[in-house]
Amino acid sequence: MLHKRFFLVLVTMIVATGLVWAGGSREAVDDDVITLEVFHYLDLADNVSTDNFEEVRKAFEEAHPNIRLQFDYLFDEAYHNRLQAMAVAGQLPDVMFLWPGKRTGDVTGAGLVKDLRPWVDNIRHEFAPAALAPQGPNGEIWELPEQITATHVMFTNERLLDELGLTFPETFEELLEQGDVIRDAGYIPIAMDNAGGWQMQSTLLSALVERTGGRDWMDRAIAGDAGFTDRQFVEALEVIKILSDEEMFTPGVNQAEYGQALTDFVNERAVYFIDGGWRTSNLATELTPAQQEYTAYNVFPRLPNERGQAGSTAIVAGTGFGMNANLTGEKADAAWEWIYHFSGPEGSAIKVEQGWLPALVDAVGPDAPLLTRKLSDFLGTTPGGYVIDAVLDAEGMGVLHPALQEMMFGRLTPRQVAQRYEDWVEANDTGRQ
């Protein structure tokens, strides 16, 4: 959560100075050209993602010479802080990148984003039903998802397993037993990076909570009929604490910036790599064809006393672009042209070649890249639970994320993390109000 004083300063700066958009200043343009300010969630240091996006953007510009897009880019918490500040200042851009759940719920739930259903209803048949599940309390669609996202995949280097005389573990205990063998051979058991704090919650804890609690328990915890101090949540935290204590993660995992774990896995310094399915686009580009053949898509092994779905991951409808509620007429239609281009057939065809799995029906054929097909098979056969930051208020992640890091440093117990988060949820989360 933003410190109040910092947040007020940030809002003041936005009001006073406005935004500097990557597309240039807000100069006068031809009357026939519609100009849109677009705020995008993009890591400019990630060459794979930026190159893919540039290809999508150029294709749009060639097909729509009458629409000018002026982009501003941020990534990770900086994006969310800026978006929230712009919302408070009443200076949201024309188009912005959004989440289907509560990660950007302070914006979508405040009447600041237009319901896309008048446009979506015309193309609904093109998308997988799960992608267009209601995002608002009355069935609203705030953003058009570019994919269906599994936030937890345990990518596995099967060549290294064979080299070490191991097979993928069936149970948590078996995974822990592999730790000494893997470390003694000079490898990292599980590559993860958690400097941003969200990775441990989104790509591991969310999947573990589905195993230890299940959707029914999570529904009750959100509503206040159960609590995050229950054993279902504490036991999931204990798994992470044990993994940390047993040195199963990347050394210095809580200082490792996002991308380090990917590099370790690509360079075959790690046997397992836990991240979201979206990393397929990076792996499809950075792994050699031979490496792609022996890269497997798995989920975390079976836990003791599982109460939720066995062999499950955490799944959420993907992210995508939405538009400012104030847009009308030709400008709203122009914004939709970009939104649909990005997530629809044109943009998706470009993304498939780079390893993305679009939200479209039958988007992946036999000629799609190998890892895209592996991800498609994974999503088609793996049940999923909730992603925590999609169903609970985003501000609470400012409590949970650092508490997870403190637990891994040995400063908090799993039960203390659970208590700290439950206290915040009970006092603040809109699901309890």
pLDDT in tens, the chain (433 residues): 444 444 444 444 444 444 445 444 344 446 689 999 999 999 999 888 899 999 999 999 999 999 999 999 999 889 999 999 999 999 999 999 999 888 898 899 899 999 999 999 999 999 887 788 888 888 899 999 998 889 999 999 999 999 999 999 999 999 999 999 999 999 999 999 999 999 999 999 999 999 999 999 999 999 999 999 999 999 999 999 999 999 999 999 999 999 999 999 999 999 999 999 999 989 999 999 999 999 999 999 999 989 999 999 999 888 999 999 999 999 999 999 999 999 999 998 888 877 777 888 877 778 888 998 999 889 888 999 999 999 999 899 999 999 999 999 999 999 999 999 999 999 999 999 8
SS3 58: helix
**Residue 368: inside a domain, yes or no?**
no
**Residue 154: inside a domain, yes or no?**
yes
pTM, two decimals, is 0.79
- Residue 163 shares a structural domain with residue 82: no
pLDDT of residue 273: 98
pLDDT of residue 200: 98
Instruction: Measure CA 278 to chain center.
Output: 8
pLDDT of residue 369: 85
Phi first, then psi: what are they for 321, rounded to 5°?
A: -95, 145
- Residue 113 shares a structural domain with residue 21: yes
pLDDT of residue 3: 44
- Residue 74 shares a structural domain with residue 105: yes
pLDDT digits (tens, 9 = 90+) for 66-114: 999 999 999 988 999 999 999 999 999 999 999 988 889 889 989 999 9
Give the integer Cα–Cα distance in Å for 378 and 36.
Answer: 37
pLDDT of residue 135: 87
**Residue 366: inside a domain, yes or no?**
no
**Residue 374: inside a domain, yes or no?**
no
**Residue 371: inside a domain, yes or no?**
no
pLDDT of residue 30: 60
- Residue 154 shares a structural domain with residue 299: yes
- Residue 173 shares a structural domain with residue 203: yes
**Residue 401: inside a domain, yes or no?**
yes
pLDDT of residue 31: 67
Specify the CATH number for the domain of residue 228.
3.40.190.10
- Residue 309 shares a structural domain with residue 420: yes
Name every residue whose Cβ is closer than 8 Å to that of residue 90 and which is 6 or more positions away in sequence. none
* Domain hosting residue 89, numbered range: 4-145+319-358
- Residue 268 shares a structural domain with residue 413: yes
- Residue 301 shares a structural domain with residue 329: no
- Residue 162 shares a structural domain with residue 293: yes
Question: Tokens 């774990």 correspond to what residue?
Answer: 261
- Residue 162 shares a structural domain with residue 99: no
**Residue 180: inside a domain, yes or no?**
yes
- Residue 133 shares a structural domain with residue 191: no
Give, in order, the Cα–Cα distances in Å from 29 to each of 26, 34, 38, 173.
Answer: 9, 8, 17, 64
- Residue 127 shares a structural domain with residue 155: no
With beta carbons less than 8 A apart as the criterion, state whether 168 and 251 touch: no
**Residue 424: inside a domain, yes or no?**
yes
Sign of CA dihedral 133, 138, 144, 149: negative
Give the integer Cα–Cα distance in Å for 131 and 151.
Answer: 15
How many domains does one find in the chain? Answer: 2
Give the integer Cα–Cα distance in Å for 58 and 71.
Answer: 13
Rounded to 10°, the helix 414-428/231-245 angle is 140
